[in-house]
A and B are shown apart, each in its own frame.
Chain A
């Protein structure tokens, strides 16, 4: 059996999610190809060719692929599936956008956000906001899978696969791209960061969120996250949301500041290696998952933490 991995990238650089998805794919088959679909993404394809274990890289180039339009991915990938038994993509917003659409065209039940490959047709995935794990066996001939990247180690570098250009397919006839507004940041990306500092509703305003959370994140070299409550209130952009329906993170260190710890937030961060919670309510549910809890008002605790980090040479 052969497996296709759809790469996660922004046309300029390959994302680490791809390496992690390759690891999952290699558990299904030794024959793993990577599809880089985008616009002017040759550099991304060259990077994918260096992932150990990859057989070959296919590069498709068009405007609508570069814009991530779902129909363009569907019409590109569908004919390719004659040569593959499974297609995997990271469970990013783009992966979630395209995978079920491809599955439907194959009359296959998509398998969302796997965290473990038991065998080539059996997978483990979280349900009910991560409060349960289901082990499911697929009877479909062609499997379409999204992968929760944080659950897999990144495949190593060191491969030297060939890169083959391919036709981009007919594109998206019923959808037009208008614009994209991306949040620009010099900080690490939330999904793959080693340290994440998140703020909650207790911040009270966007200004306060920036004043408190961002300097601490920068001191730790961390990515910035937020609870749904903070995002809904407009204190932080939507892209910062950690939780059941936002981003799922599993950093070495997760620092939750002024976050109570609703089930939906815990679903997005409880697999972090070390969790720190700072909250003035000692009964907040976040303390049930925290390795280290500091019951204190963030207004005094965060400046003290900054000072202690400085004293420790950070």
Chain B
């Protein structure tokens, strides 16, 4: 069973995003970039499926700038077998990314796609669902447990109010939620080995996919700041303030 894992290079999880003064976007110059945390979980899941014999090959794919090769090398160091970069400097919308991935899937024919549920930059939570629809594949989003068997995936999903378990036919799209697993750190020997694993780079233009934006960003602004609060000395002071000053009790 072949697993395809799309991944994205984004602002590092621990870095606070800053809006550009001209309101055209987020200032990413000299900002630490990393693999999107949900994509790490997706890679980890694919590698674990291979380690327990359910999967035979893990292919990581990214759609992004030339620096995304570093992110793909991280995926290779975590245990992916090979990687593909679809090279573009455009910041693509989820619909366009899904169309590009559909073209990659037409060449790669994976049995299952495991990907993060959301990238922490755009916070769209959309690409997996779009890809499933474009391919007419079933989807199992927000996965916290995945069992792969011949022609089927049994997935436990984090839903409003608790957990839901569904079974889908394969091929299918699975999107990873936070509690699916805890991603490993790549060991130094594995980082060295990853340098020799195959990484194909293809120009976005060679796929012949329409990636024109549908959403025009008019401006990007900072959210309103909260005014500074006060410290109280005791729990009794706190209750008095909540009752008399804030009026919320």
Residues of A within 8 A of B (CB): 10, 67-71, 74, 92-94, 96-105, 107-113, 122, 126-140, 172, 174-183, 195, 220, 228, 231-232, 237-239, 244-245, 252-253, 263-264, 270, 273-276, 282, 287-296, 301, 304-305, 307-309, 311-312, 314
Contact = CB atoms under 8 A, between A and B. Distances in A.
Contacts of B246: 253, 274, 291-292
Interface stretch (B49-57, B129-137, B184-192): B129-137
Interface of B: 11, 13-14, 16-19, 26, 38, 93-95, 98, 117-118, 120-134, 137-142, 144, 154, 158-169, 172, 177-179, 213-223, 226, 228-236, 238-243, 246, 248-249
Given A70-B141, A291-B230, A134 B248 contact: no
Contacts of A174: 137-138, 168-169, 172
Contacts of B177: 238, 245
B120 A129 contact: yes
Contacts of A237: 162
Contact of B16 (A107, A138, A180, A263): A263
B239 A110 contact: no
A140 B214 contact: yes
B138 A68 contact: no
B98 A104 contact: yes
Contacts of B214: 108-109, 138-140
A296 B232 CA distance: 10
Contact of A68 (B124, B164, B178): B164
Contact of B125 (A112, A138, A276): A112
B231 A128 contact: no
B161 A109 contact: no
Nearest to A253: B248
A110 B130 contact: yes
Contacts of A113: 123
24 contacts: A70-B141, A93-B160, A96-B141, A97-B129, A99-B126, A101-B130, A101-B132, A103-B133, A104-B133, A112-B126, A127-B123, A128-B123, A129-B17, A132-B223, A139-B214, A174-B169, A175-B169, A179-B164, A231-B178, A253-B248, A292-B231, A294-B234, A296-B235, A308-B238
B216 A97 contact: no
Contacts of A129: 17, 120, 123
Given A129-B120, A294-B231, A312-B239, A135 B161 contact: no
Contacts of A132: 17, 19, 26, 220-223
B222 A133 contact: yes
Contacts of B219: 134-135
Contact of A134 (B166, B217, B232): B217
Contacts of B17: 127-129, 131-132
A144 to B, nearest CB: 10
B215 A112 contact: no
Given A103-B130, A111-B215, A133-B220, A293 B235 contact: no
Nearest to B159: A93
Given A100-B130, A175-B138, A232-B179, A136 B124 contact: no
A136 B248 contact: no
Nearest to A131: B17
A262 to B, nearest CB: 9
B122 A136 contact: no
A182 B16 contact: no
B178 A308 contact: no
A181 B95 contact: no
A174 B127 CA distance: 20
Nearest to B229: A291
Contact of A314 (B11, B120, B249): B249
Contacts of A180: 159, 162-165
Nearest to A270: B226
Q: A100, A133, A252, A282: which has the most chain B beta carbons within 10 Å? A: A100
B155 to A, nearest CB: 9
Contacts of A177: 164, 166
A114 B152 CA distance: 35
B129 A70 contact: yes
Nearest to B223: A133
B229 A287 contact: yes
The 3 closest A-B pairs by CB, nearest first: A104-B133, A304-B235, A128-B17
A209 to B, nearest CB: 16
B246 to A, nearest CB: 5
Nearest to A146: B125
A100 B178 contact: no
A146 to B, nearest CB: 8
Q: A104, A136, A177, A282: which has the most chain B beta carbons within 10 Å? A: A104
B26 A100 contact: no
A110 B126 contact: yes
B71 to A, nearest CB: 18
